[in-house]
A and B are shown apart, each in its own frame.
Chain A
Amino acid sequence: MVSRTSARRPFKPRSLVRPVVLLLLTALVLYPLLWMLGTSFKAPEEILNNVSVWPQSWTPANYPDGWTHFDVGFGRYFLNSFLVAVLTVVANCTSCLLAAYAFARLRFRLRGLWFAVMIGTLLLPSHVLIVPQFVMFRSFGWVGGPWPYLPLIVPHLLATDAFFVFLMVQFMRGIPRELDDAAKIDGCGAYSIFRYVVLPLSRPALVSTAIFSFIWTWNDFFRQLVYLSDLEKYTAPVALTLFIDSTGQSAVGPMFAMSVLSLAPVFLFFVAFQRLLVEGINTTGLKG
């Protein structure tokens, strides 16, 4: 593709459009983030009064202060978040892939009904499920146990994230069915087709799922708040809210510093994984 664009060198003004548009867009999109970065270096009373990006007095101490603000170092919260996020990624990628394959590729009775039910589970606002779910998980004995992350992870093992099932179904339906038919002629059953045709071609879907699972888990606040009750077991988003008690003490500077830091792992995770997304399918199956 690169060669194609370079073959068109003569059209100079047009080749400038893309970089200029990109830069403008980037500036627009990044400004709020730069503001956040700048603010993380402001002194507390300045944060509340100074709206410019640039701090008047540089306060890098927000970072060490934030890191050691609680009895438990902030690194611990990142680790906890990372643990929950990675397990969720693995669980989602496995369980949702299996379900998606069934929905997208296999014919079985009641498939349409189950698919509709699956989409239906996406539609109920989650806030009314929090209490019943909590009651249920508690009756399972999962709440307040020695490993409090059970209620946060087990549901993902069972493909309850319909979003990802649907995502993968849509991707799989983009894989030509002729491939299956060819494989069937070669004597493959549903399992072999899954293993040798669909799985390798599902990389973009899997990578997207991984990216989203990771990031959403990293940002999820409410469920983690409800199920985690031990300062040492808190995750980063829960810990971030500890900085500001709206009725009293607040540590705005450290909060901003840790917010910026908590973006770093997700950003790196994304930049690393999007490569897989880009290489995607072109190099694997189709071109042979």
Chain B
Amino acid sequence: MSNVAVSTRPPEPRPRSGPAAHQRRGRPTRHRDDGRAGYVFLTPWLLGFAAITAIPMLMSLYLSFTNYDILTPWSDVEWIGLKNYERMFGDDPAYWHAVKVTLIFAFIATPLKLGAALGVALLLNRSFRGSGLFRGLFYLPSLLGGSVALAMVWHSLFDRGGSVNAVLGWFGVEGRAWVNDPDTALGTLILLAVWQFGAPMVIFLAGLKQVPTELYEAAEVDGAGNLRRFLSVTLPMLSPVIFFNLVLETIHGFQGFTSAFVLSGGTGGPVDSTLMYTLYLYIRGFANYEMGYASAMAWVFLITIGLVTVVLFRTGRFWVHYSDGDD
């Protein structure tokens, strides 16, 4: 690990001029016992977790062992043990189909989206005339979220008579009804996800800005070319942010709901080809009123993605470089 921070100078010792109140509490021993401070800073989150996040989560865990159907009052909910889980694993082909669709989507869309985001972020990193506008333009698609208008746009592009086929026609390729064809509908969904690469792009841009310019200058003095600079400076310095985007986009990839919902009109069609896990979960919960089952699905999802995340964190130790020297 190249130690970056050595070359940076600490800031002016401004704290001296700061309010003396902070020093009154006895100077912290140089070692790490910020125990109390840690919990002070964590208070809002802890409160939020206890009061707002934890209760609904526990409720949903409880409901996953029941036949809860939303409409029946809580008091009449029936405990059915592991039945929901048994059904999911043994007696629901659509469930496994949804798992398959989701895996395909996540494994293709996530790397493509991250690649597009990093590539464009590198292109836009330098300031040039209009660079802000470009950043905005590339971010625009993400702003559309899951609106009805977006669905209509995508259908008009990828339908049989749509613009994509018109372009393909110039090259003598005969297109098909991409969005309405069970073989290709998931592909259009992946393209939509990649098209909305704005969010990770912005995070990459912000990360790139955090790379101290001195490092590039030092590398240039050493005679490093563009590629070397990228590999030995940009990538390691950017790795925490790359890691963040990887974790988040993986989670988002697996959770992909909105675009599948909007493009398929909430059905996961044609013929279940875009039936993402969370969309299926939503259909079970809100259209079929099988919220107990949906909750069980959600907890299986949490555990699975949790494992994936743990694996990512573990592998992250080998390639993510933190300037703070922690692991």
Task: State yes or no: do A and B touch (Cβ within 8 Å).
Answer: yes
Chain A interfacial positions (CB closer than 8 Å to B) = 1-2, 5, 18, 21-22, 25-26, 29-33, 35-36, 39, 47, 51-53, 95-96, 98-99, 101-109, 111, 114, 117-125, 127-129, 131-133, 135-136, 154-155, 157-160, 163, 165-167, 170-179, 182-197, 204-205, 207-208, 211-212, 215-216, 218-219, 221, 237, 240-241, 244, 252, 255-256, 259, 263, 266-267, 270-271, 274-275, 277-282, 285-288
Contact B153 A35 (CB under 8 A): yes
Whether A128 contacts B294 in the complex (CB less than 8 A), given A33-B140, A267-B140, A274-B136, comes out as yes
Whether A204 contacts B324 in the complex (CB less than 8 A), given A125-B255, A127-B281, A267-B140, comes out as no
> Which residue of B is nearest A114, CB measured?
B42
Q: How far apart are the CA atoms of A66 and B152 in the complex, in Å?
A: 18
Number of residues on chain B facing chain A (CB within 8 A): 125
Residues on B with C-beta less than 8 A from A207 are 206
Choose from B44, B56, B138 the contact partner of A26 (Cβ within 8 Å).
Answer: B138
> Which residue of A is nearest B133, CB measured?
A271
Whether A280 contacts B206 in the complex (CB less than 8 A), given A129-B56, A155-B52, A194-B41, comes out as yes
Nearest-neighbour CB distance to chain A for B60, whole angstroms, equals 4
Q: How far apart are the CA atoms of A39 and B147 in the complex, in Å?
A: 15
**Chain B interface helix/strand/loop/mixed:** helix
> Which residue of A is nearest B206, CB measured?
A204
Residues on B with C-beta less than 8 A from A132 are 55-56, 59-60, 63
Q: How far apart are the CA atoms of A194 and B11 in the complex, in Å?
A: 13
Q: How far apart are the CA atoms of A154 and B143 in the complex, in Å?
A: 24
Q: How far apart are the CA atoms of A270 and B135 in the complex, in Å?
A: 9
Contact A204 B59 (CB under 8 A): no
Which residues in window 1-37 of B have CB below 8 A to A? 4-6, 8-16, 18, 22-23, 25, 27-28, 30, 32-37
Nearest-neighbour CB distance to chain B for A149, whole angstroms, equals 15
Whether A95 contacts B48 in the complex (CB less than 8 A), given A121-B53, A136-B55, A191-B22, comes out as yes
* 11 additional A-B residue pairs with CB within 8 Å, beyond A31-B157, A128-B291, A196-B18: A99-B44, A99-B45, A120-B302, A128-B297, A132-B56, A174-B240, A177-B323, A188-B15, A240-B148, A255-B148, A256-B152
Residues on B with C-beta less than 8 A from A35 are 153, 156-157, 163
Choose from B27, B207, B278, B322 the contact partner of A125 (Cβ within 8 Å).
Answer: B278
Which of A29, A31, A281 has its CB near the most chain B CB atoms (within 10 A)?
A: A29
Nearest-neighbour CB distance to chain B for A245, whole angstroms, equals 11
Is B230's beta carbon under 8 Å from chain A? no
Whether A128 contacts B60 in the complex (CB less than 8 A), given A173-B326, A256-B149, comes out as yes
Choose from B51, B207, B282 the contact partner of A127 (Cβ within 8 Å).
Answer: B282
Contact B11 A278 (CB under 8 A): no
Nearest-neighbour CB distance to chain A for B239, whole angstroms, equals 9
Residues on B with C-beta less than 8 A from A287 are 212-214
Nearest-neighbour CB distance to chain A for B327, whole angstroms, equals 10
Is B145's beta carbon under 8 Å from chain A? yes
Choose from A171, A177, A218, A252 the contact partner of B240 (Cβ within 8 Å).
Answer: A171
**B86-94, B107-115, B174-182, B241-249 - interface stretch:** B241-249
A-B pairs with lowest CB-CB distance, top 8: A158-B48, A108-B38, A176-B5, A219-B145, A280-B209, A190-B37, A182-B10, A132-B56
Q: How far apart are the CA atoms of A52 and B157 in the complex, in Å?
A: 9
Residues on A with C-beta less than 8 A from B309 are 119, 123
Q: How far apart are the CA atoms of A63 and B219 in the complex, in Å?
A: 54
Is B285's beta carbon under 8 Å from chain A? yes
Contact A190 B13 (CB under 8 A): no
Q: How far apart are the CA atoms of A87 and B9 in the complex, in Å?
A: 37
Q: How far apart are the CA atoms of A131 and B140 in the complex, in Å?
A: 32
Q: How far apart are the CA atoms of A99 and B49 in the complex, in Å?
A: 12
> Which residue of A is nearest B141, CB measured?
A29
Q: How far apart are the CA atoms of A174 and B43 in the complex, in Å?
A: 24
Whether A98 contacts B45 in the complex (CB less than 8 A), given A33-B140, A127-B282, A136-B56, comes out as yes
Residues on A with C-beta less than 8 A from B63 are 128, 132
Contact B41 A131 (CB under 8 A): no
Contact B35 A109 (CB under 8 A): yes
Contact B128 A2 (CB under 8 A): yes
Whether A171 contacts B48 in the complex (CB less than 8 A), given A125-B278, A259-B149, A263-B140, comes out as no
Choose from B44, B134, B141, B244 the contact partner of A170 (Cβ within 8 Å).
Answer: B244
Nearest-neighbour CB distance to chain A for B65, whole angstroms, equals 13
Is B57's beta carbon under 8 Å from chain A? yes
Contact B322 A120 (CB under 8 A): no
Is B80's beta carbon under 8 Å from chain A? no
Residues on A with C-beta less than 8 A from B38 are 102, 106-108, 111, 190
Is B101's beta carbon under 8 Å from chain A? no
Nearest-neighbour CB distance to chain B for A263, whole angstroms, equals 6
Q: How far apart are the CA atoms of A66 and B159 in the complex, in Å?
A: 27
Residues on A with C-beta less than 8 A from B277 are 125
Q: How far apart are the CA atoms of A208 and B206 in the complex, in Å?
A: 7
Q: How far apart are the CA atoms of A109 and B143 in the complex, in Å?
A: 40
Q: How far apart are the CA atoms of A154 and B44 in the complex, in Å?
A: 11
> Which residue of A is nearest B309, CB measured?
A119
Residues on A with C-beta less than 8 A from B104 are none
Residues on B with C-beta less than 8 A from A271 are 132-133, 135-136
